[in-house]
Copies of this chain bind each other. A is one copy, B any other.
Amino acid sequence: MTRYVAPVQDMQFLLHDVLKLSQSGLPGHDELDRDFTAAILDAAGQLASDVLEPLNKVGDAQGCVLENGVVRTPAGFKAAFDQVREGGWTGLDCDPEYGGQGMPHIIGLATGEMFVSANLAFNMYQGLTHGAYSAIHAHGTPEQKQTYLPKMVSCEWTGTMNLTEPHCGTDLGMLRTRAEPQDDGSYAITGQKIFISAGDHDMSDNVIHLVLAKAPGGGESTKGISLFIVPKFLVNDDGSLGDRQAVSVGKLEEKMGIHGNATCVMNFDGAKGWLLGDLHKGMRAMFTMMNEARLGVGLQGYAAAEAAYQNAVDYARDRLQGRAVTGAENKAGPADPIIVHPDVRRMLMDQRSFLEGARALALWAAHMIDKSHNGDKDADGLISLLTPVIKGFLTDKGFDGAVQAQQVYGGHGYIEEWGMSQFVRDARITMIYEGANGVQALDLVGRKLAQDGGKHVMAFFEMVRSFIKENEGDETLKAQFLDPLKAASKDLQAAATYFMERGMSNPNDALSGSYDFMHLFGHTALGLMWSRMAVAAQAALTAGEGDAEFLRDKLVTGRYYMARHLPMTTTHLARIRSGSEPVMALAADRF
């Protein structure tokens, strides 16, 4: 009973009016004109709406099943996966040397948003493969790349990340999986991993597990961890599949949501693995995957909420209940559609203004990644700084948005048949996996903020400052966008200063405010994105270019974000400034 339409017009606006992609001077970007990207986005959108979205509920209802050691995906998943593969979507932004289409990352992200909105659980099979592809691409030997990447680009083989164990997730120093060196240069991998998304399934010929394990001589901390490639089936020299390895699914987890994705307990019983990257430097290689995964999860957060929002809008327009307080608007009907009620609109505008801002931030981040791949160190620093914000803030707010979309349905939102419960249950995982959001906040405040002498956060502030300076000549824009942005940025700077002053003498003062800081940063970043969108929309309107109605709606939606979301920065700052005393005062045994 749900539907999804890809926001192609909004993406086109971001790619061309805001980011001006084809003029960015990056290699291969000059051909990315409006028509070119429209063709890609339209095709991806159609696939998302027609093929993936109808399977979303099927995946939730059927889930994955473990039968005699084999994981079966929900009905229709395999055929759809073939269709995604055949369309070349899995290798869109992959290296042409291994069969990819060599598009910039930003195009992969835009189409990825659509696939996630349509079917989050389904898209994870491809998403995790992409992460494993990137790690092998960055750290693999030429032979490893040749062996694995072509099949992973096409998703004939899928990939996984094997990090977590029953007793450790965030604290990987405690992991117990062992890697024993063998005479042939491989390692025998033994241990149990949990929460392995897409750990096994029936949609690919092979599963390439990337497994964190401890090899002798590395010590017991995270520093001694290495990363290994452990294929489910060994690969013969001619590329054909050989023996099945001692890699098995212990069980499938019964989860709150994303039922269509197989979350496996994986047992490795002396399976052959090959070192990926340097010995005892596995954390570095793992972070190549992890950073990509974190940005991907940030995208999931708002993409799931986008689908929920679209359906909430439909319901709000269809459901007749009560009359507008300012006079009936549907006089011929028994009642007005609930979209006339201010509080229903508040819910929809809350979601809409967040979603469009989140999309701008995600595409901007992807653009930074493309720049950093082209050697731009400043862009690399900014994306490193903002990765935890994108992951933590966009998933928290995305979940809130899905809950709000469900709320628009009233009682029907609670009934599984209507599909809104699934959006909420699916979105919930995004706040947890690839580092729970509290860990993102810790990464932001404990590491990223002071990285390279605080250079990157300074660059962010400078970006805000110079943007305001360039544009404050327009009075309306100044009052509606730039002044609130300036206030938010000031709150963010005050918080950063507080951390710097207090963090040394009492690190708990910084860590107690880390979560609020992540949100404060997120709001400021979205305030900046909205201001950039407003400038671009205003410019297009003035020039008489583009769809005037769309551009005016953009300004209206942006004003809502600035007026209704951005005031949160004040509260976040007040909480941060209350320090660690209220947080830490209660003794642990008195809770």
A: residues with CB less than 8 A from B are 164, 167-171, 173-174, 194-195, 253-257, 313, 316-317, 320-322, 325-326, 334-335, 337, 339-349, 352, 399, 403, 406-407, 410-411, 413-417, 421, 424-425, 428-429, 431-433, 436-438, 441-442, 446, 507-508, 511-512, 514-515, 549, 553, 556-557, 559-560, 563-564, 567-568, 570-571, 574-575, 578, 580-586, 588-591
Q: Nearest CB to that of A515 among chain B residues?
A: B343
Is A421 a contact partner of B171 (Cβ separation < 8 A)?
no
Pick from B164, B170, B325, B584: contact of A511, CB under 8 Å:
B325
**Nearest CB on B from A418, distance (A):** 10
Q: A174-B335, A346-B515, A560-B583 are known; give 19 further A-B pairs, CB within 8 A.
A: A168-B321, A169-B410, A195-B411, A253-B415, A254-B415, A316-B591, A341-B438, A342-B580, A343-B514, A345-B512, A407-B431, A407-B432, A407-B436, A559-B582, A564-B575, A564-B578, A567-B575, A570-B571, A570-B574
Is B512 a contact partner of A346 (Cβ separation < 8 A)?
yes
Is A321 a contact partner of B585 (Cβ separation < 8 A)?
no
Provided the pairs A168-B321, A171-B335, A255-B414 are in contact, do residues A514 and B578 lie with their beta carbons within 8 angstroms?
no
Q: Nearest CB to that of A579 among chain B residues?
A: B563
Pick from B256, B407, B424: contact of A438, CB under 8 Å:
B407
CA–CA, A345 to B253, complex, Å? Answer: 28
CA–CA, A556 to B254, complex, Å? Answer: 39
CA–CA, A321 to B578, complex, Å? Answer: 26
Across the interface, which residues of B come within 8 angstroms of A512, CB to CB? 342-343, 345-346
CA–CA, A560 to B584, complex, Å? Answer: 10
By CB atoms of chain B within 10 A, which of A345, A433, A560 has the most? A345
Provided the pairs A256-B421, A553-B590, A583-B342 are in contact, do residues A432 and B414 lie with their beta carbons within 8 angstroms?
yes
**Nearest CB on B from A88, distance (A):** 33
Is B574 a contact partner of A567 (Cβ separation < 8 A)?
yes
**Nearest CB on B from A582, distance (A):** 4
Closest 4 CB pairs of A and B: A567-B574, A342-B511, A563-B578, A256-B421
Is A416 a contact partner of B256 (Cβ separation < 8 A)?
yes
Across the interface, which residues of B come within 8 angstroms of A591, CB to CB? 313, 316-317, 339, 348, 352
By CB atoms of chain B within 10 A, which of A256, A341, A424, A514 has the most? A256
CA–CA, A564 to B575, complex, Å? Answer: 5
Is A433 a contact partner of B416 (Cβ separation < 8 A)?
no
**Nearest CB on B from A436, distance (A):** 5
Is A557 a contact partner of B586 (Cβ separation < 8 A)?
yes
Provided the pairs A174-B335, A438-B347 are in contact, do residues A411 and B583 lie with their beta carbons within 8 angstroms?
no
**Nearest CB on B from A513, distance (A):** 8
CA–CA, A559 to B588, complex, Å? Answer: 17
Q: Nearest CB to that of A170 among chain B residues?
A: B321
Q: Nearest CB to that of A167 among chain B residues?
A: B320
Across the interface, which residues of B come within 8 angstroms of A334, CB to CB? 174
Across the interface, which residues of B come within 8 angstroms of A514, CB to CB? 342-343
Is A343 a contact partner of B442 (Cβ separation < 8 A)?
yes
User: What are 5 residue pairs bridging A and B, where the CB atoms are less than 8 Å apart in the complex?
Assistant: A255-B416, A343-B511, A403-B428, A553-B586, A564-B583
CA–CA, A429 to B415, complex, Å? Answer: 10
Is A322 a contact partner of B170 (Cβ separation < 8 A)?
yes
CA–CA, A428 to B438, complex, Å? Answer: 23
CA–CA, A171 to B321, complex, Å? Answer: 5
Q: Nearest CB to that of A415 among chain B residues?
A: B253
Across the interface, which residues of B come within 8 angstroms of A428, CB to CB? 403, 406, 414, 424
Across the interface, which residues of B come within 8 angstroms of A508, CB to CB? 325-326, 342
Across the interface, which residues of B come within 8 angstroms of A170, CB to CB? 321-322, 410
Across the interface, which residues of B come within 8 angstroms of A584, CB to CB? 342, 345
CA–CA, A346 to B425, complex, Å? Answer: 24
Is A337 a contact partner of B588 (Cβ separation < 8 A)?
yes
**Nearest CB on B from A534, distance (A):** 13
